[in-house]
Amino acid sequence: MNLIKLLLCLFAAKLQAFSCHQPQIIKQKPIQFDQKRVELTRLYQLTHYGIDSSSIEIEPKMIVLHWTCLPSLELAMRVFNPAALPANSPRRNEIPDDLNVSSHYLVDRDGSIYQLMPDNLMARHIIGLNHYAIGIENVGGIDGKDDLTEQQAEANAFLVCYLKNKYPQIEHVIGHHEYLGYKNSALWLEKDPEYERSKTDPGPDFVNRVKALAMESQAQPHASVISTKHCCVDRTKQTKRSSLRAK
């Protein structure tokens, strides 16, 4: 069992996924997370953030919604899985360094949720903010168009509430297209002033739909369901209302 599977299994045993819209299942679909990826992540955080540490743990204060620009889950997994960005990748021109892009969660067209890596470790998904941000990728966004589904919006709303319950310090829920608005904030750590890219995903309509669904849920009782494939299953009965805030 590699490092990522071990971490997911140990971590999943303690999880409770609080549904704030509808009960959801989080399936484990780990990407390659070997020592090479750990070392590349350490090098990335040193180069870009000035963080010289053996740890690649993050301080979650933000959730970032994305789309993959790919038509299927399988293609997205193929992109995220390698620890290093392939030498022949067309993205080499826009992405410096060897650490491959990744995300903590991936949501398929039907709303199925997959966890790709522990959400307290750093994924490369957003310039300047990776040390504070949990990433949620959504299959779709072909040709730069918002084709994301209502099932994906509901799954994202669930994840927003679940993660805000798990990490109460999370205060920001944004789309990738909004990230440059944080350049002058305390969360921005990027040391290279030239390293920025214009982003359009997933657009304000989808982000607003997700936030609206998450806010509606505040008045609903919370049932929790989580399934962690290959590890364990944790189900709890209905609990009292949560005071989660969706911002």
Mean pLDDT by 10 residues, the chain (247 residues): 52 42 88 98 98 98 99 98 93 90 99 99 99 99 98 98 97 99 98 97 98 80 40 28 27
pLDDT at 238: 28
Task: Name the β-bridge partners of 172.
Answer: 62
pTM greater than 0.85 (yes/no)? no
pLDDT at residue 245, rounded to an integer: 28
Domains of the chain: 3-239 (3.40.80.10)
Q: Looking at residue 184, what is its pLDDT?
A: 96
Cα–Cα distance between 7 and 243 in angstroms, integer?
29
pLDDT at 62: 99
Contact 189, 48 (CB under 8 A): yes
The single-letter DSSP state of residue 84 is: B
Q: Is 77 helix (H, G, I), strand (E, B) or coil?
A: helix
pLDDT, tens digit, for every residue of 108-144? Answer: 999 999 999 999 999 999 999 999 999 999 999 999 9
**Residues 32-63: tens digit of each pLDDT:** 999 999 999 999 999 999 999 999 999 999 99
